[in-house]
Chain A
Amino acid sequence: MSKGHSHDHADYQPDIEDFPFSERMVMTQAVAELIVEKGICTADELRQQIELMDSKEPALGARLVAKTWVDPNYKARVLDNCAKAAAEIGIDIGDIPIKAIENTADVHNIVVCTLCSCYPRLLIGLPPDWYKSRAYRSRAVKEPRKVLEEFGTHIPDNVEVRVHDSTADLRYLVLPARPDGTGDWDEQQLARLITRDSMVGVTPAKSPEDI
């Protein structure tokens, strides 16, 4: 057995602890420990909050968008007050206001946070790494059409590209346009066409032929 056992054990897949801890990772850990030690919240409350954030996913936002596609009155309520409209279908988006913005035949919306990585987390989960990257944050605001092309999205010149920079207290959710050929689809079927990226505005919703 040991005779044939010649591969190099130094080549193991590294564990988390094998990467260097950055100063910010150490600071995060230190602050978390201090919060618990000072009794501001318990370790379990901290854990619960992380678990809650991790439980949010794009499917929640997709459910909301799908309903706006089949119910124009609901769409009007989403555009007017997203938190209230989300609560109607059992989604709690928390205290940070989310504003829904609608793609139309004349306007394509795309969201970026140039200052950090603000994102409608309670409706579509944690942001992808590219959303937090300096490349996306600096380029989406300055050359959005080029960035959109890199995501495979071509917006014709007669459609306005409207970039939303969520620098302050609001978070943005794009309502992508309903694809053609879905006239008789129900909400559940429609929700399968609505992706995370389409709710950030870097792609349209999927077409029926995509699924």
Chain B
Amino acid sequence: MTALRYSPGDKVQVREAYPPGHVRTPFFVRGCVGEVQEIAGVYPNPEELAYGRDGLPGVPLYRVSFKQSEVWDGYDGPITDTLVIDIYEHWLEPRT
């Protein structure tokens, strides 16, 4: 059983990294601070699977919620609008 680093409600920051290769963390959300909404399960690492490897051990996947107004400069909508993105654990850092 993979240990989970985060729980729902935790504040997290998406790593601001730009590695080459097959990466599932959208560019626009790197560096953004969000809140773990839910644990989506543990899945083989897609960054490994993409190159024919088995992606094991699996990595936890979190549904992370961001305020739209904090993701986009000049977001044209209410402050309550949100964006939920599925992000693998190794792309998240704790944020207090």
Contacts and interface: CB of A to CB of B under 8 A. Distances in A.
B81 interface: yes
B82 interface: yes
Interface stretch (A58-66, A160-168, A180-188): A160-168
Contact of B84 (A97, A115, A158, A163): A163
Interface in B44-96: 46, 61, 63, 68, 72, 75-78, 80-88
Nearest to B88: A168
Interface string A130-154: 0000000000011111100000000
Nearest to A162: B82
B41 interface: yes
Interface residues of A, number: 23
A114 interface: yes
Given A143-B76, A168-B61, A114 B86 contact: no
A168 B46 contact: yes
B82 A163 contact: yes
B61 A161 contact: no
Nearest to B44: A169
Contacts of A167: 24-26, 85-87
